[in-house]
Structure 1
Amino acid sequence: MAEPEYLNDRERRAWHGFLTMQEDLRRHMNRQLLGASGLSLADFSVLSALSQSPDGSLRVFELRELLRWEKTRLTHQVSRMVTRGLVERRSSREDARGNVVALTGQGRSAIELATPLHVNHVRRVFFDVISPRQVDALAAVSEAVLQALQDEPIED
């Protein structure tokens, strides 16, 4: 096996900054959402995805792919949300073996209340502090890395 090429100072600064920003931003957004709406960032992600579906529901595998979550994470999150009355599980009409996750009235109200608060906060802590050029660069970087991940074989 070849010796790894270690990160230089510039790469290390960028990588560490990216990871730190991502973790701090998630934690900050989660606290803000919980305080403003009672929803966690994970709750918001599920409700937002469902609310964008024409009938407010998605098959479990569609929701999992859309959120890019592991099956176990989605199962646990949906179970917590069912208990709180935000979503419900149903059998799929198209395929009796499949399950659907659907918004409840309470879930729809919660996402409608939380969305403008969340969007305003995202704008304030993220987009208002970077330039349009940085937005474009971030989009390009994200797309390039996501494409590389899609092309990368998974090694065990």
Structure 2
Amino acid sequence: MKIALGSDHGGYQLKENLKKYLKELKVEYQDFGCNSENPVDYPDVGFKIAIEVKNKNYDKGILICGTGVGMSIVANKIKGIRASLCHDVFSARYAREHNDANILTLGGRVIGSGLAKEIVKVWLNTDFSGEERHLKRLNKIKQEEDKIYK
């Protein structure tokens, strides 16, 4: 599994902690920035990662900003991306199992490193269930995306 990882300045510290954790888990990742706590615009990093995941250069993405909201909004602008903001393990599990989320967004100023690690672990290790009811809903999303992004 290859992960595209990125943050803005508000998520920088959490991203750095998660890089160490991904190494412990032996998960391959690429850090797309930012590289310090100096202010950057979250859309620059968010769009870059969402496009990489859309183009299947990476299996999944993890985006971190102060709240996770901005990165979630940005990533979900890209056709085929299902970014899910998760601040608890339950949401992370169901984001993958029911929604086949391909990008996880986190709030570096909202959750601590310990909880973030648990969320990432569950999110990475949960497969999409593939149940008909979930496939039907995802297909509805895809149909609307196809209409909008001709």
Q: For this structure pair, what is the TM-score category when the shorter chain's length is used for normalisation? A: under 0.3
Query: Which structure's residues are more often helix, by fraction?
Result: 1
Q: Return the index of the structure with the highest Cα Rg.
A: 1
TM-score (structure 1 length as normaliser): 0.24
More strand, by proportion: 2
Query: Taking structure 2 as the reference length, what is the TM-score of the superposition?
Result: 0.25
Greater length-normalized contact order (CA 8 Å, ≥ 6 residues apart): 2
